Chain A
């Protein structure tokens, strides 16, 4: 299995753990990730507020480079994914747009390939069966609230994967790892991440209701698939707890980190040391790291 890989700017900086864990689990699953050479910023959050054509051209260049290789693109970041899908659909729907984009990026682009979010790749390209096979340290006993965020599955006509109100693909992945996804109400509510630096006080109540609901439904931790959600949930949790006197302590994981842990990859390799909310006490208390290699024994 081979796919083009577009890490995007976040995964080179604040979301480094996402990058490390994605590469680690893909290797174990036999998914070859071909990083798009000389990839550029997708323009998310800024470009489409300035210039519609620029907002389409930026992701189009990356998609066009992957198209030359004849590969679909695996995209970990929710915002990059969203922009790429917008570009893909705009290109397919109008020849004028397609020509304008091709002229700007100086590359032919037909949108014959497609961008796929990493959750979609893991759940539907790699497949849950394959994931189950690779599990060595099942996450049994770990209650995970899967947080998809507002952007990953919306708008549905653009993202075209999973349910916009009650998505289940990440929950299914966690189940395949032996973990227990909890049923909760805030899996697609906004965390306010776009305001996390500009107006932190606006995000605090949004974050609190997410944490509170996950906590009340018995979650030990949250799994996310978006670097911006991750930072916001992870970095601001201390402040939110202080503001609302919250009694929760919910480590945040990229879902790929949980996959890595279940596959027996060491926390260091996955970048778990970089988290603000230290996940180690939870992992130790559940005995996940010291767990016997159940998968290997079976083989």
Chain B
């Protein structure tokens, strides 16, 4: 991130949102809302005094809700750019009308409570979507794990934050309820994944590996500890992955093949009831901490941004690639590429590979002065087109617009609207062909006449 931020040809717009995307491949006009940090970026030196003195508190998003942060804060120590942002919802000045400590203390006078969002529009040649993932909201559906009522039932990401040397515990694994070190840690895999009844049908791919890592970390960091993993299958395809998972087992992680049917609080312990399907017997574990390997789902706003950019999503809300095997980083919209978990659950090596592929796709697009496209695109017969505009909203790629056409009728010069297809954007899907009442639009190579001729050839 730091290297990217310092690169002369890379501009990073953080705390910004894409509001609209117009245009087409090679010529996108993107409207971006730069949200107000309530801070003048050119003046702020990132000294951190304001954060230190801020009296406001809020739940830290970066620490997955396990710790507090200040109202003016840097999301995490290595944030790029290394500047704070003021959160209006918890700021005392905005909620109670009285404070202003940060402004008083700031040595460069960078704090600006009046700052407004800024809308910028810029032109781009291509777009790479990399919106990542969120965790499945297990609290909504998994009553058997307590609907989030028990503080010591946490997600893998929360465990990861605790485990991080720069995290809020300084790398110590603790129980959120009392801060004590857990001795028995139960890991439950496939929470939301591979569960058509309550969650998602797909496998989240990364959980088997990170759970093996977590189990290893418990055994390594906590003396006399026990790590128990409830699993359905151990899925570790990848270079050196299986060896890694086996190492955790050799180190003493107990793998129990079966689902957990119930977790409940008993004194300060959590009772985990499940089944060992290899033994064919119910098992019960007294645990200090339960870690859920929750499914990966598309980031919360993925559907909305897909609409803005004009790309499709699959049944689970992940961005749809143009072809699952042959065009995995392209979308059906020319010039828009996808990378990482926004396309489907993925671990780091796969994400890096896909991101690199997307970058190279962009490079190859930009390296030519002319673009070769598929010739099977929609074509308008201007003599028949009535300019009704039915085709415009049905086009999923925003490839059709109505344009005025001048012509002579009965000796008079008139102007009427007709449909015009942008052949760079059109993907030849044929939606307009079906929608056109006059039969004026045809997809080249698949015209109505050609299809009828085929039908005749078969039937007559």
A residues with a Cβ closer than 8 A to B are: 163-166, 185, 189, 213, 216
Contacts and interface: CB of A to CB of B under 8 A. Distances in A.
B143 A166 contact: yes
B147 A185 contact: no
Contacts of A165: 142-144, 147
Given A185-B265, A189-B262, 9 more contacts: A164-B143, A165-B142, A165-B144, A166-B143, A166-B147, A185-B264, A185-B271, A213-B266, A216-B266
Give 6 closest A-B pairs by Cβ, nearest first.
Answer: A165-B143, A185-B264, A166-B143, A165-B144, A163-B143, A166-B147
Main secondary structure of the interface of A (DSSP, over half): loop
Interface string B260-293: 0010111000010000000000000000000000
Contacts of B266: 185, 213, 216
B144 to A, nearest CB: 5
Interface residues of B, number: 9
Contacts of B271: 185
Contacts of A213: 266
Contacts of B262: 185, 189
A68 B450 CA distance: 60
16 contacts: A163-B143, A164-B143, A165-B142, A165-B143, A165-B144, A165-B147, A166-B143, A166-B147, A185-B262, A185-B264, A185-B265, A185-B266, A185-B271, A189-B262, A213-B266, A216-B266
A24 to B, nearest CB: 33
A171 to B, nearest CB: 14
B301 to A, nearest CB: 29
A157 B264 CA distance: 24
B146 to A, nearest CB: 8
B141 to A, nearest CB: 9
Contacts of A216: 266
A165 B142 CA distance: 8
Nearest to B264: A185
Nearest to B263: A185
B198 to A, nearest CB: 10
Nearest to B145: A165
A4 B334 CA distance: 63
A94 B142 CA distance: 31
Contacts of A166: 143, 147
Nearest to A166: B143
A216 B268 CA distance: 13
B173 to A, nearest CB: 25
A216 B142 CA distance: 24
Contacts of B147: 165-166
A90 B30 CA distance: 53
Nearest to B149: A166
Interface string B71-113: 0000000000000000000000000000000000000000000
Interface string B140-159: 00111001000000000000
A13 to B, nearest CB: 33
A169 to B, nearest CB: 14
Interface in B272-329: none
B148 to A, nearest CB: 11
Contacts of A189: 262
Contacts of B142: 165
A91 B265 CA distance: 42
A185 B266 CA distance: 9
A189 B142 CA distance: 16
